[in-house]
Structure 1
């Protein structure tokens, strides 16, 4: 893919579908990338919403579950995707960030024996559902998983945006508006996504497995709280950095219903994979 004149072109050199939204501001220089879910099950509903002036909402890109991409504004034009938000001293992240929406129902409700998107009332198949606890919450809930193709395309585009605009980081809507918003949610692999997009994979020390059930903590020491139940013996982790006898790792699989887990573990219980 490539970006030309702030517009996105696919791998065949064709401009992706462009639907100019009326919901936009002036020119700006983006510093961050913010990831969202649509909270609905179809691209059509998001496209219709972003094209409606009364919505007062938009994003730069929408990525469907099959990887299809729609652009709504040039990347140097402000879109209205963040609302009341702040990050690293910046207030009102619309003025500082590119917004990407992924078609995903988000948090689900149970209706009989089916999982339902509460916004459009559409059924979500059981094999697309994960039970997980949001990082800003304490109670597990059901969430629609993102598709592999969708994430693959999102990573490619996000890495291109970071390279083109020198973006400082990739964050979620639930990072910049933690009380109001829950997207992209626990089904989105934020840590590994950020690692691939920002190039952190090149900085990893290596892959290991846990030698026994192992606590993963919020800091380098037993005084810090655990982030989940212990990692089961044989869990694969990627070592990101070390501090004394402790290692900061990224868990490479879903454990205890949690995706994208990062934290500190005792180095002596890691075995080279």
Structure 2
């Protein structure tokens, strides 16, 4: 797929404080893509992202990648507390949980895949660098949500693939090893993990299946 972003500049950015290490995927959580685009470009809102992917597959670029867009907010991942500086943010148009949370359209996911593949290649990043907003802010954020097709992205080299190997240790320690902050408490962190790795049941319980998945993901290193 040929990527031809539509320029839609946002004034909401500043200077990065470090190298790009991650790609963060969000959903917009607003009724329409236009409403989201307007907000991300509103100086008074003080929020932005590098890219926005519409439901019909159109790709908008709001902030140049070398700038620090304001998409992640408070959060933590793998020792990094300033995810805005350390990541490229992609907003995916979807009304989210507040407005019925529809499935992500195929044409939209195709654009997301092409964009992420391009970003990873240009910045020399591994698929494991791609995370969800809920991963870095458990308990505060739940996007891109349990309907996001992480397994599809993994097959396309755009997200971590679940390994067969297992790491040894207690769930809390392994979740910290994966990259999560335990500050929000174990249950919100487990819920964030489940949204990514067991989206059919997000209950925050460390049952046998969840524990096994935690051990497998932790073995990625």
TM-score after normalising by structure 2 = 0.69
Alignment of 1:1-273 (within 5 A): 10-11=2-3, 15-27=4-16, 29-108=19-98, 117=99, 143-168=101-126, 169-198=129-158, 257=200
Answer whether contact 1:162 1:197 (CA < 8 A) is retained: no
1:158 CA drift (Å): 0.3
Cα 1:220–1:93 shift into 2, 3 Å: closer
Distance in 2 (CA, whole Å) between partners of 1:200 and 1:175 is: 13
**How many residues align structurally?**
176
Answer 1 or 2: higher relative contact order, Cα 8 Å, separation at least 6.
2
Answer whether contact 1:42 1:64 (CA < 8 A) is retained: no
| Higher Rg of the two aligned structures | 1
Q: Unaligned stretches of 5+ in structure 2?
A: 172-197, 203-208, 214-221
1:144 CA drift (Å): 2.1
Q: Unaligned stretches of 5+ in structure 1?
A: 2-9, 109-116, 118-123, 125-142, 206-218, 225-254, 266-273
* Structure with the bigger percentage of helix: 2
Answer whether contact 2:147 2:199 (CA < 8 A) is retained: no
1:199 CA drift (Å): 7.5
Distance in 2 (CA, whole Å) between partners of 1:262 and 1:179 is: 18
Cα 1:50–1:159 shift into 2, 3 Å: same
